[in-house]
Structure 1
Amino acid sequence: MVNTVTTAPKVELDCDRWIKASWDEFITLSDDPTHAEKARFYYDHDTMRIEMAALGPLHGRNNSVVYDVISLFAIARNIRILKLTNTSFRKTGTQECQPDCSFYIGDRFLLTPQNNSSIDLDQFEVPHLVVEIATTSLNDDLGRKRILYEQLGVKEYWVVNGGDSQVYAFEMSGGRSGTIKESQVLEGLSIAIVEEALKRSLTEDDSAIARWLLQTFNG
């Protein structure tokens, strides 16, 4: 996918690319409840990206496996976490993102409000770990979205390539990012374990994967 920014005469819902748009135009679409189950929304200063929601089992299964890996690791290591799926994070007027899954990690984060509004990043910190599941959006997830998450101050970012069970993991600091082989926000969790769990999901059920994970984490 080519990550070019194009100018559109009007804002359309089905535009799987970055387009020029004002904040007001973006809010008109993203806050429309009729679009909530159809699309995911990203905004970076004067451009936005709208992705049609992935409905296939490949995307959904990869999402679930990542959740299981992180949840079971946190339980095994007694780490406090908060998990969020398809949740929007908004920095009013400038930026917004809606990652596949995101995680607050550690002892100090505040519990987020239990409503359907975007999380206000002027009041709450950004999630510590953000994960995007790439089926058709790999180039953009590794490119423009990665820069967006750098700017927002996310500490760690994973991109899961749904086609080959590969995980691209980045540590982020000071508006920059670098690849890592072991999570920095979940100390001791190897990215190779996440990839192995994704590979096992091709032939094993969730209970079998969970048993393997628990044996690995408690071994």
Structure 2
Amino acid sequence: MIEAPSLQEYIPTATWVKATWEEFTSLADDPQYAEGKFYYDNGFVRIEMAALGSAHGQDNSIVSTVVVLYAALKNIPIKELTNTSFRKTGIREAQPDIGFYIGNSLCFPPRNNAPINLDTLSPPTLAIEIGATSVADDLGRKRLLYESLGVEEYWVVNVAHSEVIAFAVQNEGSRRIYESRVLPGLAIALVEEALRRAQTEDDGAIARWLMETFSS
């Protein structure tokens, strides 16, 4: 078991480490991990401290633009949260790159810097991980984590291949989909095309193309 209270021992990152909930919260509050992303799943913690490069940042921005523009033009209520922690106290926590509440019953979480409390609020409708070095885990244990948290849809963006692997989640299980269920009519292939275009076109050009495509 890791000794989180001392915070002196080396704690391996980018891997799942056995830890109690108390050890996890102690690590999450430690300033030396202030730039880290934290995940907890039923007795195991994962901390990601890898530097995020241009490819990760650009893909994060483009995917966000696709989702928000589509929702706006289709009159679908949406609320985006970036790098926000979603906590089921004592059991699970996830910090997706992007989370969206979608639909007429969407909630506006309290405006503070605490993790969103899933004991009293619903999980995000759509969770997205942008995977530069973490794709295998994004598709593996994190996928199971998001299934358990109860998101309705989960996307993994493989930065190296401009690929989006999307899953519909139901009853703590998931299956791959090629058209979004929470954003009806949005083809995953179109999100991938936006990622490819973004390698040679500026964000304004991508936004104009998206608006023309979504409006046709």
Is 1:16 matched with 2:7?
Answer: no
Deviations 1:142-188 (A, max 9, x none): 00000000011110000000001000000000011000000000001
Give the structure 1 partner of residue 118 of structure 2. 121
User: What TM-score, normalized to structure 1?
Assistant: 0.93
User: What TM-score, normalized to structure 2?
Assistant: 0.94
CA distance in 2, matches of 1:146, 1:52: 19
CA distance in 2, matches of 1:144, 1:12: 23
Report the number of matched residues: 212
CA contact (8 A) 1:138 1:161 kept: yes
TM alignment of 1:41-60, pairs within 5 A: 41-60=38-57
CA contact (8 A) 2:128 2:155 kept: yes
1:12, distance to aligned residue in structure 2 (A): 4.3
Partner of 2:39, secondary structure, is strand
1:33, distance to aligned residue in structure 2 (A): 4.6
1:32, distance to aligned residue in structure 2 (A): 3.0
CA contact (8 A) 1:62 1:198 kept: yes
* Structure 1 outlier segments of 4+, above 3 Å: 7-14
CA contact (8 A) 1:14 1:51 kept: no
CA contact (8 A) 1:66 1:194 kept: yes
CA distance in 1, matches of 2:109, 2:122: 10
Give the structure 1 partner of residue 136 of structure 2. 139
CA contact (8 A) 2:127 2:155 kept: yes
Is 1:26 matched with 2:24?
Answer: yes
Give the structure 2 partner of residue 107 of structure 1. 104
Distance 1:117 1:98, change over 3 A: same
CA distance in 1, matches of 2:78, 2:91: 28
Equivalent position amino acid for 2:14 in 1: D
Equivalent position amino acid for 2:99 in 1: S
Equivalent position amino acid for 1:55 in 2: L
| Candidates 57, 75, 79, aligned match of 1:78 | 75
Give the structure 2 partner of residue 96 of structure 1. 93
Equivalent position amino acid for 1:175 in 2: E
CA distance in 1, matches of 2:30, 2:85: 13
**What's the Cα RMSD here?**
1.4
Percent of residue pairs bearing the same amino acid type? 54
Equivalent position amino acid for 2:36 in 1: A
For structure 1, which runs of at least 5 residues remain unmatched after alignment? Answer: 1-6
CA contact (8 A) 1:40 1:53 kept: no
Give the structure 2 partner of residue 213 of structure 1. 210
Give the structure 1 partner of residue 187 of structure 2. 190
CA contact (8 A) 1:13 1:29 kept: no
CA contact (8 A) 1:159 1:169 kept: yes
Partner of 1:188, secondary structure, is coil
